[in-house]
Amino acid sequence: MKKILFSFWILSLVTITNASQLLPDTLPKRIYAWQLDDDFYQISPIDLDTTLKKFQVYKPDYKLYPLHSNMGNLALASLPDCFIDRNYKDKVFFIRYYLPFLHYPDNQTYINTKKPFTELKYTTGGQKKVLEQSLRVLHTQNINDKFNAGIDFKLFGSEGQYANQKSSIKALATFTSYTSNRYTLHANFNLNNIFVDENGGMVNDEDLGNMETLDIPVNLGTLNSAVSSVKNKTFMLSHGITLEGGKRDTSGTTDSAGVKIEKPTGLGLRGKLSHVLFFQNDAKIYKDKSPQSGFYRDIYSDSTITFDSLYARTFTNILRFDFQSDPGKKFRFGGGVAATIEMDKYSNLLPGDTIYHDDDYSNKSLSGYLFNDLGEKFNWKVKTRNYYSGYKAGDFLLDGSINKSFSAKKGVSTLILAGKFETRRPAYWLNYYHSNNFVWENDFGDVIETRISAKYSHPGRYLNASFNYALIDRYLYFDTLAHPAQINGLASILSLYLTKDFHLGKFHFLNKVLFQQTDHQREISLPAISIYNSIYFEHDFYFKLTQGHLLVQLGFDVYYNTPYNAMAYMPATGQFYIQDEKELGNYPYLDAFLNFKLKRTRFFFMFDHVNSGFTGDNYFSVLHYPLNQRTFKFGLSWTFYD
pLDDT digits (tens, 9 = 90+) for 16-56: 333 333 334 445 557 899 999 878 888 889 888 889 999 99
149 in Cβ contact with 100 (< 8 Å): no
Instruction: Please tell me which residue, 260 or 467, carries the higher pLDDT value.
Output: 467
Per-residue pLDDT averaged across 68-97, rounded?
92
Count Cβ atoms within 10 A of the Cβ of residue 595 and give its class: 0-12 exposed, 13-18 middle, 19 or more buried.
buried
Check whether 270 has a pLDDT greater than 90. Answer: no
Instruction: Please tell me which residue, 550 or 543, carries the higher pLDDT value.
Output: 550
Give the Å distances, CA to CA, from 451 to 152, 202, 214. 36, 38, 45
Taking residue 642's Cβ as centre, other Cβ atoms within 10 Å add up to: 9
* Confidence bin at 258 (pLDDT 50/70/90): low
Maximal C-alpha separation, the chain: 79
Q: What pLDDT is recorded for position 245?
A: 56
For 560-612, how does the pLDDT look when each residue is reduced to its tens digit (9 = 90+)? 999 999 999 999 999 999 999 999 999 999 999 999 999 889 999 999 999 99
For 208-220, how does the pLDDT look when each residue is reduced to its tens digit (9 = 90+)? 988 999 999 999 9
**What is the rounded distance in angstroms from the CA atom of residue 260 to the CA atom of residue 265?**
16
Contacts of 173 (CB under 8 A, 6+ apart): 103, 108, 151, 152, 153, 188, 189, 190, 191
Q: Tell which CATH architecture fits domain 2-641.
A: Beta Barrel (2.40)
Give the Å distances, CA to CA, from 634 to 9, 122, 533, 535, 594. 10, 8, 21, 19, 10
Instruction: Please tell me which residue, 352 or 456, carries the higher pLDDT value.
Output: 456
Check whether 316 has a pLDDT greater than 50. Answer: yes
Instruction: Please tell me which residue, 544 or 273, carries the higher pLDDT value.
Output: 273
Check whether 231 has a pLDDT greater than 50. Answer: yes
% of the chain at pLDDT higher than 70: 91
Per-residue pLDDT averaged across 269-274, rounded?
90
Q: How many CA atoms lie within 13 A of 330 on its CB side?
A: 1
* Confidence bin at 262 (pLDDT 50/70/90): very low
Q: Where are the domains of the chain?
A: 2-641
Q: What pLDDT is recorded for position 27?
A: 53
Instruction: Give the helix/strand (H/E) hosting 65.
Output: none
* Confidence bin at 88 (pLDDT 50/70/90): confident
Q: How many CA atoms lie within 13 A of 256 on its CB side?
A: 14
Mean pLDDT for the chain? 90
